[in-house]
Amino acid sequence: MDSGSSSSCLFQSIQITLFLLFISFALVFCVFSFLIYIFRLKPLCDCDVCTAYVSSSWTKEFRNLCDWYTHLLRKSHTGTIHVHVLNNVVTANPDNVKHMLRTRFDNYPKGKPFSAILGDLLGRGIFNVDGDSWKFQRKMASLELGSVSIRAYAFEVVGSEITNRLVPLLSSVCGKEDGLDLQDVFRRFSFDSICKFSFGLDPGCLKLSLPASEFAEAFDTASRLSAERAMSPSSLVWRIKRLLNIGSERRLREAIKLVNALADEVIKQKREVGPSKGHNDLLSRFMINIDDDRYLRDIVVSFLLAGRDTVASALTSFFWLLSQNPKVRDAIREESDRVMGPTTDGLASFDQMRKMHYLQAALYECMRLYPPVQFDSKFAQDDDLLPDGTWIKKGTRVTYHPYAMGRMEWSWGPDCLEFRPERWLSKDGVFSPVNPYKYPVFQAGVRVCLGKEMALVEMKSVALALVRQFDILVAGGHRRPQFAPGLTATIRGGLRVVIEERSVASTR
Ligand code: HEM
């Protein structure tokens, strides 16, 4: 044997040893994390709720986990339940919600478990941090989002996406039997809109050919795989996979790399052009005060996540509900005819939208029944007592549940499961909001959603444009939606619809 082949043998055996070491290491960690999982599940808890959760027996009766929680919360005399195996207190009680989001806000941060899950994608972005970093971004973003010029810019972005893409796309499939997936259309619409608004970048997802966008796909993958981390039996599982760069963690890393590369490129180009060019997007505005490009990227990506799927989710539920409730659709048409005149095209102005109380009521009512963020959790920093008498031990996950809260008879009356926009209107037809802790769809209190007004304008613009011009029929539309797991409510399998030009009979 010459020295070359003996050194290659040595190299091979080192490789094999390393491989075996690697496999043993992975196996030991998997067993270890499984044990932690079992330990954390506290299998000794045999209460009905924990047993049903662990055995998944709730799925026999309920289509969605949130429907089962709603059922449990309706039965609870405090409107609060404790899922011991998850160390999770879930509440639908508005007093508790006010307590955690306003009165004792400091005791209920997002917490490390949440920020670890989204940390690789969102970094130090507003959506993912607590404390001083959050305060700084919140102040800066509130100032920007409150300005008249950015509202006008958002309106312009949305208007152009509706006129140049959304309406032509729907017109192009009018009368076609196979129609299209409206959820996919709204996801494309809101991605284009939020990218233009946040970055000044147009990914063109809603172009007529419905092109695949590398950026949109990477962003989708990154947010989906980040959310899936929360479903791991223990955070150790995904942490080990991340360390070894295998499976979903490898795909997540690649997707985030792509999102970062694009964001970095946009930031670089904007730095070269300089802030003097009068760009209106958020990034250009934030650049004036922030020099750290990594931090800038984090902030803007948070906005993409916050403003994309939420709006798409609300619009999808809205058109599903309208298809089940044509009287509401007709009432929206009547109101908009009264305010805008009897044309079917053209966008509503800010002023016109402000006059449409019924439309606003219908959107609020839609999100009461189908909130885009179905539940939201915080982690107690210290022991605490909730107003309903529930004891919270330090470290407990405390969840407020807008989906269940919208379905509580004691909050909304015996017709709480009906889609009835009128419940939001005073006798003279004026929209009257409710206590935000009873309706925390946009969260409430100190950390209330920063994009609420923008989201409402976006949804109203889309709703008016489509309701006035098209009849939208949901294929096989009587079955209640089943949701896919994730950060935002998404209908499993999408929402297949057939589009018709608005018929003369239903015109007026
Ligand atoms: C129907 C649409 C929307 C709904 C239902 C919604 C709901 C929410 C909720 C529940 C939160 C709290 C999340 C948490 O802290 O865990 C939130 C936060 C936030 N939302 Fe929205 N949102 C919507 C649209 C938007 C849009 C379009 C934007 C962007 C322009 C936006 C920007 C934000 C930001 C930046 C935060 C973080 C605020 C903070 O942590 O201080 N949202 N939103």
Sequence length of the chain is 508
User: Residue 415: what pLDDT?
Assistant: 98
DSSP assignment, residue 164?
I
pLDDT of the chain, 508 residues: tens digit per residue = 455 566 666 767 777 777 677 677 667 666 666 655 555 555 568 899 999 998 999 999 999 999 999 999 999 999 999 999 889 999 999 999 999 999 999 999 999 988 999 999 999 999 999 999 999 999 999 999 989 999 999 999 999 999 999 999 999 999 999 999 999 999 999 999 999 999 888 999 999 999 999 999 999 999 999 988 987 777 888 999 999 999 999 999 999 999 999 999 889 888 887 765 567 899 998 988 899 999 999 999 999 999 989 999 999 999 999 999 999 999 999 999 999 988 767 789 999 999 999 999 999 999 999 999 999 999 999 999 999 999 999 999 999 999 999 999 999 999 999 999 999 999 999 999 999 999 999 999 999 999 999 999 999 999 999 999 999 999 876 678 889 878 899 999 999 999 999 875 554 4
Reading the block at residue 139, the tokens are 């102040």
Is residue 158 within 6 Å of ligand 1 at its C-beta?
Answer: no
DSSP assignment, residue 502?
P
Please state, in angstroms and rounded to a whole number, the distance separating the CA atoms of residues 408 and 414: 9
Is residue 94 within 6 Å of ligand 1 at its C-beta?
Answer: no
Is residue 441 within 6 Å of ligand 1 at its C-beta?
Answer: yes
Task: With beta carbons less than 8 A apart as the criterion, state whether 436 and 444 touch.
Answer: yes
> How many angstroms separate the alpha carbon of residue 156 from the centre of ligand 1?
21
Task: With beta carbons less than 8 A apart as the criterion, state whether 191 and 218 touch.
Answer: no
Task: Report which ligand 1 atom has the smallest distance to the Cα of 371.
Answer: 5
> How many angstroms separate the alpha carbon of residue 193 from the centre of ligand 1?
15
Is residue 411 within 6 Å of ligand 1 at its C-beta?
Answer: no
> How many angstroms separate the alpha carbon of residue 457 from the centre of ligand 1?
14
Question: In sequence order, what DSSP letters do the residues of 376-404 get, joined into one string?
Answer: EEEE-SS-EE-TTS-EE-TT-EEEE-HHH
Is residue 109 within 6 Å of ligand 1 at its C-beta?
Answer: no
Domain boundaries, the chain: 13-44, 45-507
Is residue 451 within 6 Å of ligand 1 at its C-beta?
Answer: yes
Pocket test for ligand 1, best of 310, 316, 441, 457 (most atoms within 8 A of CB): 310
Reading the block at residue 426, the tokens are 């005073």
Ligand 1 atom 24: residue of nearest CA: 307
Is residue 450 within 6 Å of ligand 1 at its C-beta?
Answer: yes
> How many angstroms separate the alpha carbon of residue 227 from the centre of ligand 1?
16
Ligand 1 atom 3: residue of nearest CA: 310
Is residue 348 within 6 Å of ligand 1 at its C-beta?
Answer: no
Is residue 303 within 6 Å of ligand 1 at its C-beta?
Answer: yes
Ligand 1 atom 6: residue of nearest CA: 442
Is residue 300 within 6 Å of ligand 1 at its C-beta?
Answer: no
Pocket test for ligand 1, best of 151, 449, 457 (most atoms within 8 A of CB): 449
Query: What's the gap between Cα 498 and its chain centre?
Result: 26
> How many angstroms separate the alpha carbon of residue 34 from the centre of ligand 1?
35
- The model's pTM: 0.90
Please state, in angstroms and rounded to a whole number, the distance separating the CA atoms of residues 217 and 114: 23
C-alpha separations of 164 from 131, 153, 208, 346 in Å: 42, 16, 10, 12
Is residue 449 within 6 Å of ligand 1 at its C-beta?
Answer: yes
Is residue 379 within 6 Å of ligand 1 at its C-beta?
Answer: no
Please state, in angstroms and rounded to a whole number, the distance separating the CA atoms of residues 108 and 141: 22
Task: Report which ligand 1 atom has the smallest distance to the Cα of 377.
Answer: 16
Please state, in angstroms and rounded to a whole number, the distance separating the CA atoms of residues 336 and 342: 8
Is residue 138 within 6 Å of ligand 1 at its C-beta?
Answer: yes
> How many angstroms separate the alpha carbon of residue 347 from the centre of ligand 1?
25
Question: In sequence order, what DSSP letters do the residues of 303-365 get, joined into one string?
Answer: HHHHHHHHHHHHHHHHHHHHHH-HHHHHHHHHHHHHHH-S-SSSPPPHHHHHT-HHHHHHHHH
Task: Report which ligand 1 atom has the smallest distance to the Cα of 308.
Answer: 27
Q: Between helices 357-369 and 326-340, what is the axis angle to 10°?
A: 150
Task: With beta carbons less than 8 A apart as the criterion, state whether 403 and 371 touch.
Answer: yes
* Domain covering 45-507 in this structure, CATH number: 1.10.630.10
